[in-house]
């Protein structure tokens, strides 16, 4: 269950943030989210996020693209309207295959890349006209924000985060937003 | 510090001895057919077993039509005839392009038989030389690829790799002896490998005169071939010598003194420029000219891609071996991961170039170009397509998953397949031109691989044992030790 009250700890250095994340994890608190102006190397592992499955999805999209290319070229060039190009009127997919390899390659890449990006956006809950979830605009500039849910342990969390070198700590009631 | 273990030393020596036995057997078998008569007896036996002639039915359809007037000849002769017409299609030119071929055959059937048998005899005699050359080139190419990879690390000031520099330096130690052996085989093989080395081919008086080869004789002649080879080898070896020297000097330098590293950076950049020109010319000279009528403009790139895959694979294998002995404690699985990524990437790059070369020639279908692939697809079907499975599909599927790239034994197994595939790649470049359809992976081929593998291990591990395994003075060594993906 998502807590209605959260604590926002703001940092101004990614190394400090990394150490803070490790400390908070060591104290067995669940970090809801970290907002950073740029990708911080190793942050996902420190936060204990599961590895992404985007690569597997991408592989499957690539396979779909390859299949589409195969079916499309077979229909266009062999079945529907057989053509004699370069003196190769063999009307056989296999014998004309080298000529289709660039198309097979391109469609594999096209499907894998585009569908992967779309999947990534949807999985990140981003779509057109979506209102930004970003709690503090400074995280798009030079500050890092760690969000932790409060479950009646406000004081303890406050002290812990103050120790980790946070430059600012705010308690935010999400319900009022 | 690595000490060259006796076990490895003895294994290398055993490989060399076994290799020499295999090669000796290859030469002995080849010269079993000393005269044209011997070969004719062999061909007659083959024809009576029906094996050789029959397997070339498709070739007969494909081959030149000049021989149609033989259709009524007896069966025995027909079997030979198919082979012969095929051999011409395959562009093997030890009896080059007969304009008057049809006359030849229709006038004198007996003479035709002789000519064919002589042709087969040449192919049989070429085989041990070619086998030796393919293996010698393969191992030389590993050392050369490693040298380029090493130079790239310096020129790019890469931070991840300095822990592997001593392994790369060890491998590149084989370059000078390896390259000299390749050139020596080319030089002493007469014209068993390079048909253009036959002086009759550029002599207008001779029956073997070949106008195209004569036209290229300003480039393809023996003295200039040797001079070029020596220029290439000198350039590469000088870079190798000085980069190793500066690399070791940097270890002994005062803290903060980076002069040797900077020198290495400069000579590496210069070497890369020198290399890309000489590598291209080397691949025309040492490989492409075995088919002196045929040419491909991206051949140098294609050879380069294969060279890089093999070199990175061997770097990964030796690194894993030394790490398993506990000698490279700072090398972590992220280094292995990066090497495996390069193996994966260069395998794809190799396939891209292989396919680019193949598709253009296949599509345009110009007789003098497409003959190159006709020979390979018809006579070398299994190695030709097998190599694409080994060099592309196998690494693509096995090394795609990022977790697998960190598993040592997985990288080793994938590496063995990749090395095998690229040996076959070199095999497919040389053999169709020299032995035609008389190929087999037998005693001379395996013997040559063993011989050069033994020599390679001996020289490389000797060089690795000479210096500390960590290039501790390299300014990026700390970054390399902390490298993690």
In a domain, A163, yes or no: no
In a domain, A49, yes or no: no
Pairwise CA distance, residues B311 & B306, whole Å: 9
The answer to whether residues B436 and B91 touch, using CB atoms and an 8 Å cutoff, is no
In a domain, A83, yes or no: yes
* Closest residue of chain A to B401, computed from CA coordinates: A55
Mean pLDDT of A78-101: 85
Structural domain tally of chain A? 1
- The reported pTM is 0.84
Q: How confident is the model at residue A124 (pLDDT cuts 50, 70, 90)?
A: confident
- What is the pLDDT at residue B1? 80
What is the nearest CA distance from A147 to chain B, expressed in angstroms? 26
What is the nearest CA distance from A86 to chain B, expressed in angstroms? 7
Q: What is the b/e burial string over A18-30, where b = at least 16 CB atoms within 10 angstroms of the residue's CB?
A: bebbeebeeeebe
A33: number of Cβ within 10 Å = 13
- What is the pLDDT at residue A83? 82
Q: Which of B362, B400, B484 sits opposite A98 (nearest CB)?
A: B362
- What is the pLDDT at residue B352? 95
Higher pLDDT, A124 or B382: B382
Q: How far is CA B106 from the centre of its chain?
A: 41
The 8 Å CB, 24+ separation contacts for B356-360 are: B356/B298, B357/B296, B357/B298, B357/B299, B357/B302, B358/A98, B359/A98, B359/A99, B359/A101, B359/A102
Pairwise CA distance, residues B70 & B136, whole Å: 42
Pairwise CA distance, residues A21 & B414, whole Å: 38
Over residues B439-462, the pLDDT tens digits come to: 888 899 999 999 999 999 999 999
* Closest residue of chain A to B348, computed from CA coordinates: A105
Three-class secondary structure of residue A142 per DSSP: coil
In a domain, A76, yes or no: yes
In a domain, A18, yes or no: no
What is the nearest CA distance from B363 to chain A, expressed in angstroms? 7
Spell out the residues 6+ positions from residue B331 whose beta carbon is closer than 8 angstroms to its own: B163, B164, B319, B323
Pairwise CA distance, residues A124 & B146, whole Å: 43
Q: How confident is the model at residue A176 (pLDDT cuts 50, 70, 90)?
A: low
Residues from chain A that touch B358, judged by Cβ atoms under 8 A, are: 98
Mean pLDDT of A100-116: 95
Low-confidence ranges of chain B (pLDDT < 70): 50-112
Average pLDDT, chain A: 89
Three-class secondary structure of residue B95 per DSSP: coil
For chain B, the residues whose C-beta falls within 8 A of a C-beta of chain A are 355, 358-359, 362-365, 400, 402, 484
Q: Which of A42, A86, A102 sits opposite B365 (nearest CB)?
A: A86
Q: Supply the range of the domain harboring residue A105.
A: 54-123
The answer to whether residues A26 and A155 touch, using CB atoms and an 8 Å cutoff, is no
Pairwise CA distance, residues B434 & B94, whole Å: 9
Q: Which of A42, A87, A101 sits opposite B359 (nearest CB)?
A: A101
User: Would the CB atoms of A86 and B400 count as touching at under 8 Å?
Assistant: no
In a domain, A102, yes or no: yes
User: Would the CB atoms of A86 and B402 count as touching at under 8 Å?
Assistant: no
In a domain, A147, yes or no: no
Mean pLDDT of A72-84: 89
Over residues A8-34, the pLDDT tens digits come to: 999 999 899 999 999 999 988 889 889
User: Would the CB atoms of B359 and A99 count as touching at under 8 Å?
Assistant: yes
Burial of B233 (0-12, 13-18, 19+ CB in 10 A): buried
- What is the pLDDT at residue A67? 97
pLDDT reading at A45 higher than 80: yes
In a domain, A60, yes or no: yes
User: Would the CB atoms of A86 and B364 count as touching at under 8 Å?
Assistant: yes
């Amino acid at each position: 269950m998502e807590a209605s009250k959260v604590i926002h700890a703001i940092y101004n250095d990614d190394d400090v943030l990394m150490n803070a994340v490790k400390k908070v994890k060591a104290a067995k608190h669940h970090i809801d989210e970290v907002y950073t102006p740029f990708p911080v190397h190793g942050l996902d592992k420190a936060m204990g996020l599961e590895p992404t499955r985007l690569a597997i999805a991408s592989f499957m999209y690539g396979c779909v693209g390859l299949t589409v290319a195969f079916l499309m070229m077979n229909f266009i060039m062999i079945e529907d309207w057989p053509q004699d190009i370069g003196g190769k009127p063999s009307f056989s997919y296999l014998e004309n295959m080298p000529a289709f390899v660039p198309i097979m390659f391109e469609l594999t890449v096209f499907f894998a890349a585009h569908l992967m990006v779309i999947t990534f956006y949807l999985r990140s809950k981003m779509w057109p006209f979506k209102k930004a979830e970003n709690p503090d605009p400074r995280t798009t500039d030079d500050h890092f924000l760690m969000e932790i849910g409060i479950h009646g342990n406000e004081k303890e969390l406050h002290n812990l985060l103050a120790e980790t070198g946070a430059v600012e700590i705010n308690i935010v009631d999400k319900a009022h937003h | 510090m690595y000490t060259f273990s006796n076990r490895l030393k003895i294994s290398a020596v055993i490989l060399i001895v076994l290799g020499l036995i295999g090669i000796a057997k290859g030469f002995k078998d080849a010269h079993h057919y000393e005269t044209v008569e011997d070969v004719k007896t062999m061909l007659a036996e083959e024809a009576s077993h029906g094996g050789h002639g029959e397997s070339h039915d498709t070739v007969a359809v494909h081959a030149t039509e000049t021989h149609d007037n033989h259709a009524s000849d007896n069966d025995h002769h027909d079997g030979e005839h198919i082979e012969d017409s095929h051999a011409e299609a395959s562009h093997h030119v030890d009896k080059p392009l007969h304009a008057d071929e049809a006359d030849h055959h229709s006038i004198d059937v007996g003479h035709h038989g002789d000519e064919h048998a002589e042709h087969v005899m040449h192919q049989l005699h070429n085989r041990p030389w070619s086998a030796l050359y393919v293996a010698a080139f393969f191992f030389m190419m590993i050392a050369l690829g490693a040298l380029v990879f090493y130079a790239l690390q310096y020129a790019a000031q890469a931070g991840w790799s300095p822990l592997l520099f001593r392994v790369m330096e060890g491998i590149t130690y084989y370059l000078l002896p390896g390259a000299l052996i390749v050139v020596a085989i080319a030089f002493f093989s007469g014209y068993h490998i390079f048909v253009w080395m036959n002086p009759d081919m550029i002599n207008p008086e001779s029956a073997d005169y070949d106008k195209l080869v004569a036209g290229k004789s300003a480039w393809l002649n023996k003295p200039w071939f040797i001079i070029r080879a020596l220029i290439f080898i000198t350039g590469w070896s000088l870079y190798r010598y000085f980069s190793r020297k500066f690399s070791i000097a940097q270890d002994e330098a005062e803290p903060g003194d980076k002069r040797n590293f900077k020198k290495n950076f400069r000579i590496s950049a210069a070497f890369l420029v020198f290399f890309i020109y000489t590598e291209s010319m080397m691949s025309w000279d040492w490989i492409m000219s075995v088919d002196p009528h045929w040419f491909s403009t991206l051949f140098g790139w294609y050879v380069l891609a294969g060279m890089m895959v093999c070199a990175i694979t061997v770097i990964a294998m030796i690194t894993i071996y030394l790490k398993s002995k506990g000698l490279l404690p700072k090398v972590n699985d992220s280094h292995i991961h990066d090497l495996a990524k390069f193996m994966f990437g260069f395998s794809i790059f190799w396939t891209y170039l292989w396919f680019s070369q193949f598709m253009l020639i296949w599509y345009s279908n110009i007789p003098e170009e497409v003959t190159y692939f006709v020979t390979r697809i018809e006579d070398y079907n299994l190695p030709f397509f097998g190599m694409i499975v080994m060099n592309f599909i196998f690494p693509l599927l096995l090394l795609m998953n990022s977790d697998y790239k960190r598993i040592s034994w997985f990288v080793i197994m994938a590496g063995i397949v990749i090395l095998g595939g690229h040996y076959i790649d070199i095999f497919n470049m040389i053999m169709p031109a020299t032995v035609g359809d008389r190929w087999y992976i037998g005693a001379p081929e395996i013997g040559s691989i063993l011989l050069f593998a033994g020599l390679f291990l001996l020289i490389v591990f000797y060089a690795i044992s000479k210096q500390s395994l960590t290039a501790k003075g390299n300014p990026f060594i700390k970054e390399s030790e902390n490298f993690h993906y």
